[in-house]
Amino acid sequence: MAMTAAETTNYFLRRAFELIGMGQRYEVLLMTPSRELRVELAIPMDDGSIGNFIGYRVQHDNSRGPFKGGLRYHHDVEIDEVRSLASLMTWKTAVVGVPFGGAKGGIQCDPRKMSQAELERLTRRFVDAIGELIGPHTDIPAPDVNTNAQIMAWFFDQYSRRHGFQPAVVTGKPVQLHGSEGRGAATGRGCMLAIRECLKHDGKNLEGSRFVIQGFGNVGSWFARLTHDRGGKILAVSDINGGIFNGDGLDIPALQKHVAETGTVVEFAGSKPISNDELLAAECDVLVPAALGHVLTAENAGDVRASYVLEGANGPCTAEASDILDQRGIQAVPDIWANAGGVTVSYFEWTQNLQNFRWSESKVNEELETVMVSAHRGIREAMERYKCSMRTAAFVRAVEAVKVTTDMRGLQ
């Protein structure tokens, strides 16, 4: 049977543990979440009925700093995946060296079928339900799939009603409401920097390289725009409604206009439709899964015709897919580094909030670049040291960092 999302993360972790000779004691300690909360959220719906939803917050590890991780609103949200995503956050914050631990949360719901008023009530109810376990120095949520700056604004407002002015309780807020310049673009920008560094390492460039992107939300669309600006050719993109292809490269600014007007990438002028399977198997230099988890599996990893798989999404590869890519010499650029730009700028937002001070966009972008480039150096050094894949090297760096703080703090 295929591994679950949490088992997959532990599979990758175990490999790092084995390489650096970590004992069994750490394995259990570092794979087990510190705390898991499941809450029932009952809210009045617009039609007068009662909507019943289930929400989760999983806090994985806080030895390096307060728990940190996004909130996902999706009909597939369930505890195993939230556990996996919380664990990935622990390793992500560690690999880029931002002083946070790892957490993740979500609500099982279909936001596409809900009104803005219902989403607001659901968010406020969730804040009340998990309110005792979060706080600016305890656990700081952020946006993820189907959540955005508006939802973070309601989150901040609801928490502040009980606790006084607390902008640092959540990141990814609107820039006008204590958010940070550059946070919206941060994950896509981090992905662009990650692949830029990999290409540079291999004597190549963003300019002229060909990209195929699954998902055109926050991460996928910003990545497309920033990469297109630098001369990258975006051959295909998709969203939940379907995919589009143009072998000469899509006009990304025009596509963004089309998405703003129609709500989807499909039927973009000058493109032809492409199925999800075709998109994942399209010939290109860099395949960028930037939607959901476990989209590359034992069944389709053999079809990938890219030199790099840049993991904009969290956990897009199953364990088997990751091994197949390794065997085929396709470089998987691992999620815990590739998409760490979001949590890095969340850290900048948090520090700005705590100081009531604002950074310029250029300062945010410069600092983000420094963090991503320095993490790349660390990962390459671990690849050299252990003769291992980039994913294992990233986990090695992260586990070493978490082990140090765990030991220093002690278990008593």
Does 187 bind ligand NAD (CB under 6 A)? Our answer is yes
Within 8 A by CB and 6+ apart from 305, the residues are: 281, 282, 283, 284
Asked if 104 is an active-site residue, the reply is yes
Are the C-beta atoms of 260 and 284 separated by less than 8 Å?
no
Sign of the C-alpha dihedral, residues 219, 221, 227, 233?
A: positive
Strand-pair partners of 315: none
Within 8 A by CB and 6+ apart from 382, the residues are: 388, 393, 394, 396, 397
Nearer to ligand NAD by Cβ, of 111 and 403: the residue is 111
Among residues 211, 175, 171, 208, the alpha carbon closest in space to that of 191 is found at 211
Nearer to ligand NAD by Cβ, of 264 and 405: the residue is 264
Among residues 120, 115, 126, the alpha carbon closest in space to that of 46 is found at 115
Total residues at interface with ligand NAD (CB under 6 A) = 24
Cα(81)–Cα(92) distance, rounded to whole angstroms?
16
Nearer to ligand NAD by Cβ, of 22 and 325: the residue is 325
Are the C-beta atoms of 6 and 81 separated by less than 8 Å?
yes
Does 182 bind ligand NAD (CB under 6 A)? Our answer is no
Least gap, CB of 203 to ligand NAD (angstroms)? 28
- Scanning 4-12, 138-146, 200-208, 366-374 for contacts with ligand NAD by CB under 6 A, the matching segment is 138-146
Nearer to ligand NAD by Cβ, of 218 and 246: the residue is 218
| Chain position whose Cβ is nearest to ligand NAD | 217
Q: 104, 173, 233, 403: which one is catalytic?
A: 104
Nearer to ligand NAD by Cβ, of 22 and 322: the residue is 322
* Residue from 63, 214, 322, 353 binding ligand NAD (CB under 6 A): 214
Does 219 bind ligand NAD (CB under 6 A)? Our answer is yes
In terms of phi and psi (left: phi > 0; alpha: psi -120 to 50; beta: otherwise), the region of 134 is: beta
Does 180 bind ligand NAD (CB under 6 A)? Our answer is no
Binding to ligand NAD by CB under 6 A, coded x per residue (else -) over 274-293, reads --x-------------xxx-
Which three-class secondary structure state does DSSP give residue 235? strand
Least gap, CB of 360 to ligand NAD (angstroms)? 20
Does 217 bind ligand NAD (CB under 6 A)? Our answer is yes
In terms of phi and psi (left: phi > 0; alpha: psi -120 to 50; beta: otherwise), the region of 329 is: left
Does 141 bind ligand NAD (CB under 6 A)? Our answer is no
Supply angle C-alpha 379, 384, 389, rounded to 5.
Answer: 65
Binding to ligand NAD by CB under 6 A, coded x per residue (else -) over 305-344, reads -------xxx------------------------x--x--
Q: Token digits for 392? A: 């294992």
Which three-class secondary structure state does DSSP give residue 250? coil
Does 19 bind ligand NAD (CB under 6 A)? Our answer is no
- Scanning 116-124, 162-170, 236-244, 320-328 for contacts with ligand NAD by CB under 6 A, the matching segment is 236-244
Cα(118)–Cα(43) distance, rounded to whole angstroms?
8
Q: How many CB atoms lie within 10 A of CB 409?
A: 11
Nearer to ligand NAD by Cβ, of 22 and 335: the residue is 335
User: Residues with catalytic annotation?
Assistant: 104
- Give the interface with ligand NAD as residue ranges (CB under 6 A): 143-146, 187, 214-220, 238-240, 276, 290-292, 312-314, 339, 342
